[in-house]
């Protein structure tokens, strides 16, 4: 096995001191919320909270030349609320790899189903209160409907809507340092570099991408290296997030099924698995050793098997097939964090123990139907009472502090 590359950004933070304090303590003191009503003994960073975008999230800041092609809202034949772009409904209401039958509705920020309009209003007006009663200090906000923008065929319209959504997120929703956000990039590396730099200037801590191959774009090629260089140059992480119900995903795992629950079971972990194999196997992490990756809403416990399988293949296959200077498990250990969002996931504690508490972070998936809702932190404490305190602190905040390269106040 070759000598390890230079260590990436996830290193040695605990050894740093700020006014005599441990580095992570200093970061926590800079972001901790005194208004929290539960879980006060922990500093909690939620790595995946979801925007519920009103229509104006895509129209308010949309360039005038694209206003006549802006998304609209419609009701499908089954009563589901859908966005319409390029004469297609999102999420896809039927067929192979379909989206939710209820469409853009049924959100559960407090465990009770809300319609889309109710959820838009609630998530905007009650977002701080919901974080307080959940025990979350700060959170990373990720789109919901916006996750389908890479499905838009016209790259100019796709980019215009990405810019509009990123502007709305930065200017109208994620106001104040409690609310972190990530920007989306269009499926064109030159345009993506522009948007990474623009989002960095607006205060984004990360950029999100779909794990799928969409529009036949294989984003792990060297033509995308300038995009990842722009992210690392600006201290930004790369977040992967899947969504079920697209039209232009290539060989998607969910296309085997025309029943939503089965499509959804497959889509998130299997697409994320294929992305993990790609970023490691095609050398993205090797070429960009300071690029931190976060993989959202796909569970955790499938990872040890596939990382072990990747290690076995790189050690067993002929050398000319392998272009890696380290084992896949070493790249994973250095640069990847998998986010748990199911507090009853089988073997979660055992996986945390296997990794020494590293490489896994807390998310709630707020306020989606399959999220742990406002009780997330409390349920993790009750479901896993025998997790040691250091592992809890790594899970609740320290690992994601590293991913997002948070710094204490000056």
| Rounded Cα gap, residues 282 and 72, in angstroms | 39
pTM: 0.94
Q: What distance, in Å, lies between the first and last C-alpha atoms of the chain?
A: 42
**What would the DSSP string read from start to end of 325-344?**
SS-HHHHHHHHEEEEE--TT
Mean pLDDT of the chain: 92
Residue 11 reports pLDDT greater than 60? no
| Rounded Cα gap, residues 241 and 270, in angstroms | 12
pLDDT, tens only, 62-86: 999 999 999 999 999 989 999 999 9
Question: Is 26 in a helix, a strand, or coil?
Answer: helix
Residue 75 is inside which H or E element, if any?
strand 72-75
CATH fold of 13-69+127-404 reads TIM Barrel (3.20.20)
Q: Beta strand 45-50 with 72-75: parallel, antiparallel or unpaired?
A: unpaired
93-97-99 Cα angle (round to 5)? 40
User: Is residue 362 within 8 Å of residue 44, measured between CB atoms?
Assistant: yes
Residue 7 reports pLDDT greater than 70? no
What pLDDT sits at residue 13? 53
Domain coordinates in residue numbering, the chain: 13-69+127-404
Q: How many Å separate Cα 185 from the centre of its chain?
A: 13
Provide CB contacts within 8 A for 203, sequence distance 6+. Answer: 170, 174, 181
| Rounded Cα gap, residues 385 and 292, in angstroms | 30
Nearest to 31 by CA among 171, 176, 221, 242: 176
Cα dihedral angle (112, 47, 348, 148), rounded to 10 degrees? Answer: 70
| Rounded Cα gap, residues 240 and 210, in angstroms | 6
**What would the DSSP string read from start to end of 196-245?**
HHHHHHHT-SEEEE-SS-BTTB-TTSGGGHHHHHHHHHTT-EEEE---S-
| Rounded Cα gap, residues 156 and 149, in angstroms | 11
| Rounded Cα gap, residues 173 and 152, in angstroms | 24
**What average pLDDT does this structure show over 343-351?**
92
Confidence band of 291 (pLDDT split at 50, 70, 90): very high
Residue 48 is inside which H or E element, if any?
strand 45-50
Nearest to 8 by CA among 410, 405, 409: 405
| Rounded Cα gap, residues 225 and 218, in angstroms | 12
Percent of the chain that is helix, strand, coil (3-state, to 5): 45, 15, 40
The dihedral sign for the CA sequence 38, 40, 44, 49: positive
Instruction: Enter the DSSP assignment of 79.
Output: S
What pLDDT sits at residue 374? 67
Residue 18 reports pLDDT greater than 90? no
User: Is residue 264 within 8 Å of residue 244, measured between CB atoms?
Assistant: yes
Question: Is 377 in a helix, a strand, or coil?
Answer: helix
Residue 212 reports pLDDT greater than 80? yes
pLDDT, tens only, 149-189: 999 999 999 999 999 999 999 999 999 999 999 999 999 99
Residue 263: phi and psi, rounded to 5, are -60, -40
Q: Beta strand 237-240 with 206-209: parallel, antiparallel or unpaired?
A: parallel
Residue bearing the bigger pLDDT, 101 or 376: 101
Residue 144 reports pLDDT greater than 90? yes
């Amino acid at each position: 096995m070759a000598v390890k590359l230079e260590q990436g950004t996830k290193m040695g933070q605990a050894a740093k001191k700020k006014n005599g304090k441990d580095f992570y303590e200093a970061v926590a003191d800079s972001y901790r919320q005194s208004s929290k009503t539960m879980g006060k003994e922990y500093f909690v960073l939620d790595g995946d909270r979801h925007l519920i975008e009103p229509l104006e999230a895509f129209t308010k800041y949309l360039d005038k030349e694209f206003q006549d092609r802006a998304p609209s809202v419609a009701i499908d034949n089954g009563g589901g609320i859908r966005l319409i772009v390029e004469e297609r409904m999102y999420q896809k209401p039927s067929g192979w790899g379909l989206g939710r039958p209820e469409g853009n509705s049924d959100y559960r920020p407090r465990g009770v189903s809300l319609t889309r309009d109710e959820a838009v209003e609630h998530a905007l007006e009650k977002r701080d209160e919901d974080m307080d009663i959940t025990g979350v200090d700060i959170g990373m906000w990720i789109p919901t409907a916006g996750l389908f923008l890479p499905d838009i065929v016209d790259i100019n319209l796709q980019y215009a809507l990405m810019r509009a959504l990123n502007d709305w997120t930065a200017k109208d929703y994620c106001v104040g340092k409690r609310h972190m956000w990530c920007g989306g990039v269009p499926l064109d590396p030159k345009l993506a570099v522009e948007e990474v730099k623009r989002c960095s200037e607006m205060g984004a801590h990360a950029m999100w991408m779909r794990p799928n191959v969409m529009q036949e774009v294989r984003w792990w090629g060297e033509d995308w290296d300038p995009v990842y260089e722009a992210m690392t140059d600006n201290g930004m992480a790369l977040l992967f997030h899947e969504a079920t119900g697209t039209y232009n995903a290539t060989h998607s795992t969910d296309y085997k099924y025309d029943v939503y629950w089965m499509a959804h079971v497959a889509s998130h972990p299997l697409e994320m698995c294929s992305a993990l194999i790609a970023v490691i196997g095609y050398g993205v992490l090797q070429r960009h050793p300071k690029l931190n990756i976060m993989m959202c809403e796909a569970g955790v416990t499938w990872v040890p098997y596939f990382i072990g399988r990747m290690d076995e293949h790189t050690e067993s296959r002929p050398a000319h097939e392998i272009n890696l200077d380290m084992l896949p498990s070493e790249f994973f250990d250095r640069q990847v964090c998998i986010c748990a969002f199911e507090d009853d996931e089988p073997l979660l504690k055992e996986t945390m123990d296997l990794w020494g508490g590293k490489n896994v972070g807390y998310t709630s998936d707020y306020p989606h139907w399959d999220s742990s809702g406002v009780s997330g932190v409390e349920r993790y404490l009750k479901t896993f009472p025998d997790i040691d305190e250091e592992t809890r602190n790594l899970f609740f905040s320290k690992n994601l502090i590293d991913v997002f390269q948070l710094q204490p106040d000056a």
